[in-house]
Amino acid sequence: MLLARQHAILDLAKQIGRVTVEELAGRFDVTPQTIRKDLNELCEQRLLARVHGGAILASSVENVGYDARRQIAAREKMAIGRAAAALVPNDASLFINIGTTTEAVAQALLQHTGLMVITNNINVANLMRAYPQIEVVIAGGVVRRADGGIVGEAAVDFIRQFKVDFAIVGTSAIDDDGSLLDYDFREVKVAQAILANARKVILVSDQTKFDRTAPVRIGAIDQVDVFVTDHCPSERVRALCAASDVQLIETDPQGGTAP
């Protein structure tokens, strides 16, 4: 049976996606050790999953809300965005798919010139449309209310019309065997079309994705050319990157301090 405080922690995680030991200790006026015990018990019941400094929702079939995902590892995503954008030259064509990390890359690309950006992410299109040096092309299809992503067969057919220089792709979860996973099979179909129609694929994902799981397979780490993350905690994924000649770029190689 959960304590009242543990119920409150779980409710908070559902609202904002991620909770931290430091913030919870202050909120409930208890020691960090008490909060760690609460989180460990919630994780043992598979209600939460431990991440650096705290925990996230542990659902393997339903993603965290989009606004909450924007708050998870926000600073790390900004650094990842800058590092990925630095790999894209001016006068390039690129896909940008759905995700809060790919949106961080789009933000970092705003000072580039001569870009042609094809996206199935309404948030990316809205962010970039005001910049005359960037041509924005948006896919047609079903608009997912939860996050403004455009999914479905119409979007897949639209993407297949192009062959671009770069693809900036995100993923909801990364398995230890290198599988890239997502929650919505309709989105996965679009992501697979993007992977197949780009000359160079840049995967962007923060380290919390290693603590999550999802039911639908996009592909595998060996299908990308560059993996940009804040920190890769999986030695197996590191080995897979090395074996498959995938360039691994870490914006925080030490991964911060232990929780």
- Residue 17 in domain: yes
Are 18 and 80 in a shared domain?
A: no
| Domain at 192, CATH number | 3.40.50.1360
Are 108 and 149 in a shared domain?
A: yes
* β-sheet bridge partners, residue 220: 179
Are 109 and 215 in a shared domain?
A: yes
Residue type, 249: I
Domain holding 38, by residue range, is: 4-58
- Residue 255 in domain: no
Are 207 and 85 in a shared domain?
A: yes
| Domain at 41, CATH number | 1.10.10.10
* Chain segment 229-255, per-residue pLDDT in tens: 999 999 999 999 999 999 999 999 987
In the chain, the number of structural domains is: 2
* Chain segment 43-56, per-residue pLDDT in tens: 888 778 888 889 88
Are 199 and 237 in a shared domain?
A: yes
| Residue ranges in the chain modelled with pLDDT below 50 | 61, 257-259
